[in-house]
Amino acid sequence: MDWHTLLPRERLGKPVHSSTELGRSAFHKDHDRIIFSGAFRRLGRKTQVHPVSSNDHIHTRLTHSLEVGCVGRSLGMRVGEIIRDRLPEWCDPADMGVIVQSACLAHDIGNPPFGHSGEDAIRHWFQQAAGRGWLDGMSEEERSDFLHFEGNAQGFRVLTQLEYHQFDGGTRLTYATLGTYLKYPWTARHADSLGYKKHKFGCYRSELPLLEQITQKLGMPQLEDERWARHPLVYLMEAADDICYGLIDLEDGVEMELLDYSEVETLLLDLVGDDLPETYRQLGPKDSRRRKMAILRGKAIEHLTNAAARAFVEQEPALLAGTLQGDLVEHMHGQAKRCVQRAKGMAREKIFQDKRKTLHEIGAYTTLEILLNSFCGAVLEQHRQSTPSFKNQRILDLLSHYAPDPSWTLYRSFLRVTDFIAGMTDSYATEMAREMTGRSSPS
């Protein structure tokens, strides 16, 4: 791969690249299209780790995505400055920063309500549905999309199909930004076979022609049937997510009183060493731990960003060859690598086992089961009988413009149901499921 081919201004679904405005390149327009999309706005009411309503200070998918975007922009600009002489003339370091930032902003845009437990709940429901014969008539590849339901593939569908220009390029982002978004440029065929990350893939069968078009445009090497090497900038997006996920999970853990401030402070002090901000040195016993954490976290992110940028530049030949093994954190040096790994370990041991989170996850299964039973049941009846019952017709009416045409294949029809449900916020999904069971809202 080479940077000139990897960073085009041309857009998906548009034959020529956008005209450049004063101070606003095609890549900056990508950023704005994501920010103003309805799918991005709804992240404000979707779970990151903890239930959305449990504490006003904890992160939602929206605040997490914004913070990942900030770190990603810094990473992209820093790397861009170092390799400036190898960039095409139309892409400066600031553009490279906003390409990574845009991909970071969109990295969770396809996640369903209730976070990763929502993803698993949808997969679990479709596995049961397959046992009841609800997926009969689909090809093995089509069934696999539902059995391995994945927020990354749903996000690719949101960006390229569902937002703005529906089924005509979607948000029509530049190929460069779409390539940077594609964390897993392969189909569900490889979801369980690669051993990279369980269930992970980035493209449904329905979007495979678009994936082929994007990878060909960017010169991303095809490794095997329906699988391509990753765009090098994916590694910066992924590192930004790892940095924020690691540190912010701990910050939320302290806020939720699942971690002691002292153990998180020790972890961050080990990272920054003597490079403490003067404002932190001046803090007194009356200063809140929230303020202390914010100052220390800022310096820690600076150290981790520097380490990730350094690792990227060191690994540039392998990145361009499409042969780098693992993620960028694994190639960071010393204390930076240990900090991220220890942070993830602390989160697994003490945060993800929280009883409140567990109850929320169990509720996600119940809520999504009610919704999927109702909507997929109505679609299945329409598919098999053409004329659904009165009840199921009313359920189909709730789908509004998501309602499938009776002439469509079952695969295409079920995709529209998952589009509808995956786009819901936690509160909307919970309320709709409650009303569908005949229960009134709590006063």
Query: Of how many residues is the chain composed?
Result: 443
Q: Cβ distance 127 to 176 under 8 Å?
A: no
Whether 139 and 89 share a structural domain:
no
Question: Which residue has better confidence, 355 or 226?
Answer: 226
Whether 217 and 245 share a structural domain:
no
Residue 140 has which token pair? 């093995």
DSSP state of 346: H
Number of domains present in the structure of the chain: 3
- pLDDT value of residue 387: 85
- Rounded to an integer, what distance in angstroms lies between the CA atom of residue 78 and that of residue 310? 9
Query: What CATH number corresponds to the domain at position 202?
Result: 1.10.3210.10
Q: What is the pTM of this model?
A: 0.93
Residue numbers of the domain that contains 171: 3-112+149-228
- pLDDT value of residue 385: 84
Which uninterrupted H or E stretch holds 40?
helix 38-41
Question: Which residue has better confidence, 443 or 328?
Answer: 328
Three-state SS for 109? coil
Q: Domain boundary residue among 209, 228, 247?
A: 228
Percent share of the chain, pLDDT over 90: 70
Q: Domain boundary residue among 203, 228, 253?
A: 228
Whether 105 and 140 share a structural domain:
no
Whether 46 and 180 share a structural domain:
yes
Query: What CATH number corresponds to the domain at position 144?
Result: 1.10.3550.10
Distances in whole angstroms, Cα of residue 330 to Cα of each of 138, 229, 242, 326: 40, 18, 11, 7
The CB-based long-range contact list for 187-195 (8 Å cut-off, 24+ gap) reads 187/141, 187/211, 187/226, 187/227, 188/141, 188/144, 188/145, 188/147, 188/148, 188/150, 188/153, 189/141, 189/144, 189/225, 189/226, 189/227, 190/224, 190/226, 190/227, 191/144, 191/148, 191/150, 192/148, 194/227
pLDDT one-digit tens code per residue, 49-78: 666 656 667 788 999 999 999 999 999 999
| pLDDT tier, 347 (very low <50, low <70, confident <90, very high otherwise) | confident
Query: What CATH number corresponds to the domain at position 273?
Result: 1.10.3410.10
Whether 136 and 198 share a structural domain:
no
- The owner of tokens 């990350």 is 197
Average pLDDT, the chain: 91
Residue 333 has which token pair? 């040096």
- Rounded to an integer, what distance in angstroms lies between the CA atom of residue 1 and that of residue 15? 23
Three-state SS for 186? strand
Q: Residue 303: what residue type? A: H
Whether 130 and 85 share a structural domain:
no
Whether 34 and 9 share a structural domain:
yes
pLDDT one-digit tens code per residue, 266-296: 999 899 888 888 887 877 877 788 888 888 8
Whether 136 and 222 share a structural domain:
no
Q: If we measure between CA atoms, which residue out of 221, 246, 223 comes closest to residue 231?
A: 221
Q: Domain boundary residue among 308, 331, 351?
A: 351
Whether 283 and 418 share a structural domain:
no
- Rounded to an integer, what distance in angstroms lies between the CA atom of residue 174 and that of residue 17? 8
Whether 329 and 360 share a structural domain:
no
Whether 89 and 10 share a structural domain:
yes
pLDDT one-digit tens code per residue, 76-118: 999 999 999 999 999 999 999 999 999 999 999 999 999 888 9
Q: CA dihedral in degrees (185, 207, 365, 58; nearest 10)?
A: 60
Whether 61 and 103 share a structural domain:
yes
